[in-house]
Amino acid sequence: MSDTVTDSFASRVVRWQRTHGRHDLPWQQTRDAYRIWLSEIMLQQTQVATVGRYYERFIEAFPDVASLAAAPVGRVLELWSGLGYYRRAHHLHAAARKVVGRFDGRFPTDSVTLATLPGIGRSTAAAIAAFASHERCAILEGNAKRVIARHRGIEGWPGAPRVEAMLWREAERLLPARNRIGAYTQGMMDLGATICTRAKPRCAACPVAHDCVARREERVDRLPTPRPRKVLRHREVVVLLIEHGDRILLERRPPTGVWPGLLALPEIGVDDDVQSAVAKRTGVDAALIQHLSPITHAFTHFVLEMRPTRVVIDAPPRPMAESSFEWLARKANVCMALPAPIRRLLETD
């Protein structure tokens, strides 16, 4: 690819972004690396429309990296509740503490240092550096992958090492000069999110359509190549809605695994005895056991089928030695760090 073509691609993306791109997102009006980092982590696997309200709530609670680092991880999870992929929240907290401990609270703005922080990969580090310090480095998040794969006609699943390496080479070759890197980086994200979409792309409105290989060869609907399909394993559990008056029993999840560190309903196996499980957790017998309709929740590697069982106990529960259990008023769940399907279950039950 000639320098002329490379510059032409970047110039078209920059011009398009300045006229048609997104300019009113709450994290776009700053070069504060902390705020940019926060938005980039939230935007991983989450739609912009969803991130907005969470971002503003986080900034209000944690206006700088020091306040985030000083907060209990449980408080961070409470504010993250509903965004999903909770490992990101744990990494967010760990990275804030590392910035305070190792960099005296000054958030890095170069991609090499940024990539040493928990939860920040090569593309995220590049995006933060581009926006915060105009570092000339390539991004390769989902939107950029799709634009480059189609424009350059690169076949294969982008997650495959060989294909990803090809995409990175093209991403680096297409970069503009440093003074345009911010607009270009935002433009690649905007182009993939609003024009070069996964389904029904609007090629007629695309600024780089005239030399797009996928469009020329009528392969837009086949690129990028989808991830190879695999059968997700299925897991079934019974979740217990143990109630006493206006309180419900929740259990703090372990720091690793599914929904790490969040509060959730106690789980038992589908063949376990409900009465025995309730007695073990409360010290009293159930007065009412009611089986509710199953609900499912898909994770990346498996599908979880939850069989909710409502249990009412009349006698006061005995004090429990296990600190992972907490009795909470049902109305308090709105501000608790709860997984989204558990929150929905409690709100609709």
- Per-residue pLDDT tens digits for 50-79: 999 899 999 999 999 999 999 999 999 999
pTM over 0.85: no
Q: Look at residue 3 and tell me whether its pLDDT is greater than 80.
A: no
Which one of 40, 141, 170, 251 is the catalytic residue? 40
Distance CA 135, CA 272 (A): 57
Residue 243's DSSP bridge partners are 248, 312
The predicted-structure confidence for 179-225, as pLDDT tens digits, reads as follows 999 999 999 999 999 999 999 999 999 999 999 999 999 999 999 99
228 occurs within a structural domain: no
Catalytic residue flag (residue 40): yes
Q: How far apart are the first and last CA of the chain?
A: 60
- Among residues 200, 222, 244, the one where a domain terminates is 222
Together in a domain, 158 and 250: no
Give mean pLDDT, residues 220-238: 92
Distance CA 295, CA 29 (A): 41
In tens, the pLDDT along 327-341 reads 888 776 656 788 888
Give the whole-angstrom CA distance, residue 333 versus residue 337: 8
Domain identity same for 242 and 271 = yes
Same domain, 40 and 156: yes
Has residue 274 got a pLDDT over 90? Answer: yes
Are 72 and 188 in a shared domain? yes
Residue 157 has pLDDT above 80, yes or no: yes
Q: Which residue has the higher pLDDT, 43 or 257?
A: 43
pLDDT tens for 75-90 read 999 999 888 889 999 9
d(CA 303, CA 236): 9
Any domain includes 227: no
- 240 and 218 part of one domain: no
Overall average pLDDT of the 101-126 stretch: 97
Q: How far, in whole angstroms, is CA 68 from its chain's centroid?
A: 18
Same domain membership, residue 95 and residue 41: yes
Residues 187 and 283 in one domain: no
Q: 24 with 173, same domain?
A: yes
User: Given this model, what pLDDT does residue 195 score?
Assistant: 98
> How far from the centroid of its chain's Cα atoms is residue 93's Cα?
14
Do residue 203 and residue 58 come from a single domain? yes
CATH number for the domain including 328? 3.90.79.10
The total number of structural domains in the chain stands at 2
Distance (Å, rounded) from C-alpha 32 to C-alpha 11? 26
Residue 151 and residue 59 in one domain: yes
Backbone angles phi, psi at 200, to 5 degrees: 50, 55
As a whole number, the mean pLDDT across the chain is 92
Determine the average pLDDT of the residues in 144-165.
Answer: 97
Last residue of a domain, one of 173, 190, 222: 222
pLDDT tops 60 at residue 1: no
What is the extent of the structural domain holding 283?
233-348
